[in-house]
Amino acid sequence: MPFSPNKRKGTLSGILFVAIFATAATFISTLAPIHALGLSPLVIGIVMGIFYANTLHNQMPQAWQSGITFSGKKILRFAIVIYGFRITFQQIAEVGLDGFLVSLIMLSSTLILGSWLGYKIFGMEKDTSILTASGASVCGAAAVLATEPVLKAEEYKTAIAVSMVVLFGTISMFLYPVMYETLIKDAVGFLHMDPRTFGIYVGGTIHEVAQVVAVPASVPGAPAEMANAAVIVKMTRVIMIAPMLIVLGLYLAWSAKKEGGARDEKMKLVIPWFAVYFIMVAGFNSLHLVPENIVNLINQVDTFLLTMAMTALGMGTIFAKFKGLGLAPLYTAGSMFIWLVVGGFIITKVVVGL
């Protein structure tokens, strides 16, 4: 943080400004109509931030900008680290090898497919393609946020990726219960899934954790094993964000070397240490040394910090920067959505049937 008293005051004012927005987003998320839609404070925060950025942004003192940047960078990385308190290695072990394999296959295939489609087929810039793919393949908005520091992408690119996650994740949340009730539950042959298998399918293919939780809750009379399998498989995908970011850093370094190292300084080897610390925190949480009520409190604080980061991200998103992108993000995210729904169904059936 800056050492000048004036700069420090401006930074603290900016952080407080973001925190006020995040508090409002948290309150709005608890309202019944919003809660019923499964919209998290993170999503509401970025929407509020984007609205502010494109209306009243010029009214903000320039000195506050450093606080907004601090919220979108430093606070974000800390929040990703303590996100590890949501996971234990025992949870991952409970779901079994089939759930792990579904998570691994869907994450890696969606990330590769989405990045390739966005960059090579639909003509998006590489950072935006990777960010959009990371959100679909891992854990929605939190994955996009975690990937941004590795790429050092601009805020508007991250906002594009988050908006695609929100759109298609929301569609999934409503589509999957209908699919189960009309096509899967009473089907015979390949289309049929028992509750546990359907839970693995949900956890392995839907974007956000909150959306995964919402699907079994929307299925009338769904047994507990469906919800448990869905959440645990989703948590397996969440923890895979750390090795994914490390592999991504290695890929960026290799890509830069392959191109003669003449591209950009950001393409040097990036080790996302916050991802390593995330695994360490998850490992510590697996020891159950911290009382559950304290862990719940930590997770509530973490959600608020992530909401601050998303809000700050929205505050840096000016619509004018979107010019020239056209429908490419929609085509890319839509293609990944089709893969997750159709390809994920086939892969889940094959893996569980082994």
- Mean pLDDT of the residues in the chain: 83
Q: How far apart are CA 299 and CA 40, in angstroms?
A: 14
pLDDT at 20 over 90: yes
Please tell me the predicted confidence (pLDDT) of residue 312. Answer: 84
Q: How far apart are CA 71 and CA 195, in angstroms?
A: 41
By three-state DSSP, how is residue 270 classified?
A: coil
Q: In this predicted model, what pLDDT tens digit does every residue of 101-131 receive, in sequence order?
A: 999 999 999 999 999 999 999 988 888 899 9
pLDDT at 224 over 80: no
- Residue 269 or residue 104, greater confidence: 104
- Residue 111 or residue 156, greater confidence: 111
Residue 329: pLDDT band by 50, 70, 90 thresholds? confident
Q: Which of 88-92, 109-113, 137-141, 262-266 has the lowest mean pLDDT?
A: 262-266
Average pLDDT over residues 280-286: 89
The 8 Å CB, 24+ separation contacts for 58-66 are: 60/17, 61/10, 61/13, 63/6, 63/7, 63/9, 63/10, 63/11, 63/13, 63/14, 64/10, 64/11, 64/13, 64/14, 64/17, 65/10, 65/14, 66/2, 66/7, 66/10, 66/11, 66/14
* Token digits of residue 282: 């998850």
The answer to pTM > 0.75 is no
pLDDT at 318 over 80: no
Which CA distances in Å does 38 have to 32, 46, 59, 211?
A: 10, 15, 32, 6
Share of the chain above pLDDT 70, in %: 91
Q: Which of 61-70, 81-90, 138-147, 262-271 has the lowest mean pLDDT?
A: 262-271
